[in-house]
Structure 1
Amino acid sequence: MATIQRKRLMPKSAFLVKKYRRGIRVSFTAICILLTLLFIMHVPSSTTKENISLNTGTETDGLNAFSGSSRSDYLLPFTDKSQHVIHPKDDGIKENAVMITLARNSDLWNLVNSIRHVEDRFNHKYHYDWVFLNDDDFTDEFKRVTSNLVSGKAKYGKIPKEQFSIPSWIDQDKLATTLKNMRDNNVIYGDSVPYRHMCRFQAGLFYRHPLLQQYNWYWRVDTDITIFCDIQYDLFKFLRVNNKMYGFILSVSEYEATIPTLWSTTRKFMKEYPHLVHKNNLMDYISDDNGENYNLCHFWSNFEIGSLDLWRSEAYDKYFEYLDQSGGFYYERWGDAPVHSIAAALFLDRSQIHFFDGLGFHHPDFLSCPVEEDIRLQNHCTCNPTRDVTWGASYFCTRKFFLTQNYALPPGV
């Protein structure tokens, strides 16, 4: 009763104020609903979860205006334009490709970071398989952790003992002398036999593993790499469409003390098998005097992506067997990187080798970071461009690669 009485006694002016406020609330609610409907009508119906993940942040013309399926307005690095390549649109069809990692069980907690970088920056969109190889049995923990991180199928293989041990034709006394001499001269990994096993396996045996026979393309992922930028296109499709067989990010000079006879052995091979050397080869990248000497330039294989058919070819099969029988992987300390680089330069058409830019990459102790700020922003790169070593003029060879290919260098390089 008191409440009713108070309402009856409420002044007319107070009643009008209350009614006016109620009207404002109703009008405001109606306006909000109308704006929401207009916003929904304005948003394209094709927006997907993937597109949203690629367009985070404030939209800026030319930076975040591309969708997850169309690359028509995707900014290409200056180096890609110089190499006259095209970036194919994603058609939803995966290539016959795989990630490959050589690892031991003790590498697990370094490897998880590499896997996350590759998955977050690239493979979560494509779900390519991942093959892990080890000279021992993988532990259950290794399999549980890594299979939970990869978006494709995880496969685990053991390397045959004969592929990860000293070959029967190696003179053990000569090897022991080499190990001592290299240790005394502080040659990096010079006294390590396991490192020699790894180099020999990566050079000519990894692609022979049964788990890899079904694939055509591969990306070698090492246990301690970083990918700094979003990769906005399918790297494997890019290689196929542009007829590329081998791709790299960094190019450096090899330690001469590890390969004193690699080039002389290669020259003997070329003399015996001249028909296997491609007529349009890239000899001028690896030699400054028309093949008389090796200038030590090679593609750093800590990032290596390409066609498995290159290594399965007659030319490379014969070349690796020739090198292997010479004993240089053990009597010296031949790395897989110079061996692969020399082979790619000699056996491929020079146009089939590609320099990848815009990805951002680190493997101790070298770092690649795109020189163009708009590319770094577009690809959400987290690298410091002042630490980039790609275009160094002395120890690094990317500049040499561009000059021999008649590609224009990026502005400011």
Structure 2
Amino acid sequence: MGNPNFEHKKRLMPKSALLVRKYQKGIRASFIGFVIMLTLVFVLHTPSPAHNVVNNTNVENGINNVAGSADLYGSSTRNNARLSDDYLVPFTDKSQGIVQPLDDGIKVRAAMVTLARNRDLWELVKTIRHVEDRFNHRYHYDWVFLNDEPFSDEFKKVTGALISGKVKYGVIPKEHWSIPSFIDMKKYEEAKQDFADSGVPYGTSTTYRHMCRYQSGFFWQSELLDEYEYYWRVDTDITIFCDIQYDLFKFMKVNNKKYGFILSVSEYEQTIRSLWKTVKDFSKKFPKYINKNNLMGFVSDDNGETYNMCHFWSNFEIVSLDFYRSEAYRKYFEYLDNSGGFFYERWGDAPVHSIAASLLLDKSELHFFDGLGFHHPDFYSCPIEEPIRLQNKCTCDPEADSTWLDYYFCTRQFFKAAGYKMPPGIDKKK
């Protein structure tokens, strides 16, 4: 016989409550299972801090490559500032007749490229933050690091955690970072002693010569760059002062630009004593490679008879890799390299790149970038127009800008040679 009190309570309960009571053990078990399942999904799908780093060592080719996984952030973040009717374009962009593309979530094949050593890490992290905060946090482009020795685990771990795109690490082949067999070592040692006696910066450094030669003719041959159309050279100790309001790489493609720069200066003449003669010899031997609509007026004041020392400061350059891969540039570098000037003198990659861009490209394919704000010891670029500085949240001092100075710097020479109007106010820069 049942409990009379229980039977009385049972009669007073609503039918729904009776059903819940009857099946409460099953409901409780199902709920617990559901919570466990959600917990497992969360744990398994939360990305690790090294979301963009996967090790893949290629011993045969001497390359230590850490490639990223798929872009977990996506690339469709729109830049609201660029969509505003009040958005301002620098005078120099208007003068050069270009357009700044809107963000549409479609990237081009491009990457930042940095030549670095393990000991550069803690200086480099500041550079990475500048580039990521001012530009790449919206676009998540890849970053390629190159070194003449393997990168340390610490270097990979720290840099990989800071970069929003894929990250690759490569070891430079020995043949690209050594003295070639055709160099007369006695002549080379005599040249270094001569530079030492003259106090030429880096005049006795073999490593510096390796770097200049590598940047001039070999970095773009790395298989880590095979998939890309454009590269932005990012040195280990640069500063970006302004928000970059558009996709720099897409800008290059949309406007059919092959070489972009932000500062141009005069070269140390003693380091390139025979460079222009070698270039002239190349031009006579291979006239087909010289563009008929070139920018000779930027690098020469007398129609090519002499070199005026002007060059684009390659510590910031955004370039079409197809330009460096072209037959014209390959032949040009090969001719220069075989002359021995990288070692007997101290040819820098900046004049080598600049002369090539000025002579081998159509002058419409070169571009001066403005509105970005840039510093690399010891030169400084800050937008000359205050509205542009305010719009792009620049943190640079315009009084420190050296872009438009009428001595040593060559920005005015570029605008004159290309036939572009210069911005108002530069006459104050003396």
Tell me by how many angstroms 1:407 deviates. Answer: 1.2
Secondary structure of the residue that 1:145 maps to in structure 2? helix
Alignment-derived partner of residue 356 in structure 2: 343
User: Is the 8 Å Cα contact of residues 71 and 87 (structure 1) preserved in structure 2?
Assistant: no
Tell me by how many angstroms 1:194 deviates. Answer: 0.0
Q: Which moved more, 1:192-201 or 1:400-409?
A: 400-409
Task: Tell me which amino acid in the other structure corresponds to 1:197.
Answer: H
Tell me by how many angstroms 1:404 deviates. Answer: 1.3
Secondary structure of the residue that 2:311 maps to in structure 1? strand
- Partners in 2 of 1:69 and 1:412 — Cα distance? 26
Tell me by how many angstroms 1:74 deviates. Answer: 1.9
User: Is the 8 Å Cα contact of residues 81 and 87 (structure 2) preserved in structure 1?
Assistant: no
Alignment-derived partner of residue 248 in structure 1: 261
Task: Tell me which amino acid in the other structure corresponds to 1:291.
Answer: G
1:163 to 170, 176, 193: 176
1:146 to 159, 181, 187: 159
Q: Deviations over 1:266-305 (max 9, x none)?
A: 0000000001100000001100001000000000000010
- Partners in 2 of 1:411 and 1:180 — Cα distance? 47
1:86 to 81, 99, 117: 99
Alignment-derived partner of residue 304 in structure 1: 317
Alignment-derived partner of residue 123 in structure 1: 136
Task: Tell me which amino acid in the other structure corresponds to 1:245.
Answer: K
Confirm whether residue 292 of structure 1 aligns to residue 305 of structure 2.
Answer: yes
1:267 to 256, 270, 280: 280
Judged with a 3 Å threshold, the aligned counterparts in structure 2 of structure 1 residues 374 and 68 are, in CA distance, closer, same or farther, namely closer
1:367 to 380, 398, 403: 380
- Partners in 2 of 1:349 and 1:69 — Cα distance? 29
Judged with a 3 Å threshold, the aligned counterparts in structure 2 of structure 1 residues 106 and 317 are, in CA distance, closer, same or farther, namely same
- Partners in 2 of 1:412 and 1:107 — Cα distance? 38
- Partners in 2 of 1:350 and 1:195 — Cα distance? 30
Q: Map residues 184-199 of structure 1 onto 2, 5 A cutoff.
A: 184-199=197-212
Task: Tell me which amino acid in the other structure corresponds to 1:125.
Answer: R
User: Is the 8 Å Cα contact of residues 259 and 365 (structure 2) preserved in structure 1?
Assistant: yes
Tell me by how many angstroms 1:128 deviates. Answer: 0.3
Task: Tell me which amino acid in the other structure corresponds to 2:116.
Answer: A
Confirm whether residue 332 of structure 1 aligns to residue 349 of structure 2.
Answer: no
Confirm whether residue 322 of structure 1 aligns to residue 335 of structure 2.
Answer: yes
1:179 to 185, 192, 207: 192
User: CA RMSD for the aligned pairs?
Assistant: 1.2
Alignment-derived partner of residue 132 in structure 1: 145
User: Is the 8 Å Cα contact of residues 196 and 333 (structure 1) preserved in structure 2?
Assistant: yes
Judged with a 3 Å threshold, the aligned counterparts in structure 2 of structure 1 residues 222 and 382 are, in CA distance, closer, same or farther, namely same
Tell me by how many angstroms 1:70 deviates. Answer: 2.3
- Partners in 2 of 1:168 and 1:71 — Cα distance? 59
Q: Deviations over 1:350-397 (max 9, x none)?
A: 000000000000000000000111000000000000000000111000
User: Is the 8 Å Cα contact of residues 220 and 305 (structure 1) preserved in structure 2?
Assistant: yes
Secondary structure of the residue that 1:257 maps to in structure 2? helix
Alignment-derived partner of residue 28 in structure 1: none
- Partners in 2 of 1:368 and 1:295 — Cα distance? 22
- Partners in 2 of 1:71 and 1:291 — Cα distance? 46
- Partners in 2 of 1:73 and 1:325 — Cα distance? 53
Task: Tell me which amino acid in the other structure corresponds to 1:247.
Answer: G
Please give the TM-score of this superposition, normalised by the length of structure 2: 0.80
User: Is the 8 Å Cα contact of residues 269 and 319 (structure 1) preserved in structure 2?
Assistant: yes
Tell me by how many angstroms 1:412 deviates. Answer: 1.1
Secondary structure of the residue that 1:252 maps to in structure 2? strand
Secondary structure of the residue that 2:260 maps to in structure 1? strand
Tell me by how many angstroms 1:73 deviates. Answer: 3.7
1:278 to 291, 295, 298: 291
Secondary structure of the residue that 2:88 maps to in structure 1? coil
Judged with a 3 Å threshold, the aligned counterparts in structure 2 of structure 1 residues 271 and 235 are, in CA distance, closer, same or farther, namely same
In structure 2, runs of 5+ residues without a counterpart are: 1-75
Tell me by how many angstroms 1:71 deviates. Answer: 5.7
Tell me by how many angstroms 1:68 deviates. Answer: 4.9
Q: Deviations over 1:40-60 (max 9, x none)?
A: xxxxxxxxx967xx7xxxxxx
User: Is the 8 Å Cα contact of residues 71 and 89 (structure 1) preserved in structure 2?
Assistant: no
User: Is the 8 Å Cα contact of residues 251 and 299 (structure 1) preserved in structure 2?
Assistant: yes
Q: Deviations over 1:125-155 (max 9, x none)?
A: 0000000000000000000000001100110
Secondary structure of the residue that 1:402 maps to in structure 2? helix
Secondary structure of the residue that 2:227 maps to in structure 1? coil
Confirm whether residue 387 of structure 1 aligns to residue 387 of structure 2.
Answer: no
Alignment-derived partner of residue 7 in structure 1: none
Alignment-derived partner of residue 108 in structure 1: 121
Confirm whether residue 202 of structure 1 aligns to residue 178 of structure 2.
Answer: no
Tell me by how many angstroms 1:406 deviates. Answer: 1.7
Secondary structure of the residue that 1:170 maps to in structure 2? coil
User: Is the 8 Å Cα contact of residues 285 and 297 (structure 1) preserved in structure 2?
Assistant: yes
- Corresponding pairs, count: 351
User: Is the 8 Å Cα contact of residues 82 and 245 (structure 2) preserved in structure 1?
Assistant: no
User: Is the 8 Å Cα contact of residues 50 and 68 (structure 1) preserved in structure 2?
Assistant: no
Alignment-derived partner of residue 228 in structure 2: 215
Secondary structure of the residue that 1:101 maps to in structure 2? strand
Task: Tell me which amino acid in the other structure corresponds to 2:366.
Answer: I
Q: Deviations over 1:73-128 (max 9, x none)?
A: 42001111111111111111011000100000011111111111000000000000
User: Is the 8 Å Cα contact of residues 69 and 91 (structure 1) preserved in structure 2?
Assistant: no
User: Percent of aligned pairs with the same residue?
Assistant: 67
- Partners in 2 of 1:178 and 1:69 — Cα distance? 53
Alignment-derived partner of residue 407 in structure 1: 420
Secondary structure of the residue that 1:122 maps to in structure 2? helix
